[in-house]
Amino acid sequence: MTQTLCAALINRAVAAITEHATELTELDQAIGDGDHGINMARGFGAIAEQGEALAALPLNQALQKAGMALVMKVGGASGPLYGSLLMSMGKALPEAPASLAGVAAAVAEGVAAVQKRGKSAPGEKTMLEVLVPVLQAMQADDGSDLPATLARLRAAADEGLESTRPMQATKGRASYLGERSVGHLDPGARSSALLVHATADVLEERL
């Protein structure tokens, strides 16, 4: 039996985070406290544990529940930030999204929640360096050619991630390093890019 969209998204996101947990930890060791891989793996492990129950829900409800799991299970900044992202997206998403514009509107709510929760804006070397360009790419697209749209979203994520390398962090623990934060990818931007790719890959396969 084919997986539901919801189950496929959960499985791919969990796999992406689990497979890259060591890399996320190494990135965070360079400019943070080295817990990003462990925190994300713990959070997505909690989502995996609820996988069957989540997969039986409409996507909007599953996102809200997955977001709550992240808030409850993950210490550090990443749990509340990713939790806010998923919960706000889920709240704003229609039960059966009919257009890219509808999805983009929900993602916009999620990104706004991250900015509010993190009291942050793009340019501070955070996950927003990926999320904001991906959102803008969605908003600039009419969705008439979905493979092309997904390619643009992946490219926006990759460029956003790479843009964090020369940036000096002015938010979070990495900001304590000042100029020494320059020259490293931001771990939160990396995990965001992983999740954008995981989502785009699932959608592409199901076209």
Residue number with CB closer to Mg ion (164 or 199): 164
Give the CB-nearest residue to Mg ion.
32
Question: CB 131 → Mg ion: shortest distance, Å?
Answer: 18
CB-based burial label for 99 (10 Å; 0-12, 13-18, 19+)? exposed
**Quick one: which of 82, 164, 161 has its CA closest to 124?**
164
Residue number with CB closer to Mg ion (125 or 154): 125
Query: How far from 58 is each of 5, 7, 93, 97, CA to CA, in Å?
Result: 9, 10, 10, 11
Question: CB 23 → Mg ion: shortest distance, Å?
Answer: 14
64 vs 86: CA distance, rounded Å: 6
Question: CB 132 → Mg ion: shortest distance, Å?
Answer: 21
Residue number with CB closer to Mg ion (29 or 61): 29
Question: CB 82 → Mg ion: shortest distance, Å?
Answer: 13
Binding residues for Mg ion, rule: CB under 5 A, are: 28, 32-33, 35-36
4 vs 194: CA distance, rounded Å: 21
Residue number with CB closer to Mg ion (33 or 145): 33
Take residue 134 and report the two structure tokens written for it. 């991906």
Question: CB 96 → Mg ion: shortest distance, Å?
Answer: 37
Please work out, in degrees rounded to the nearest 5, the angle formed at the alpha carbon of residue 118 by the alpha carbons of 86 and 193.
55
Residue number with CB closer to Mg ion (28 or 141): 28
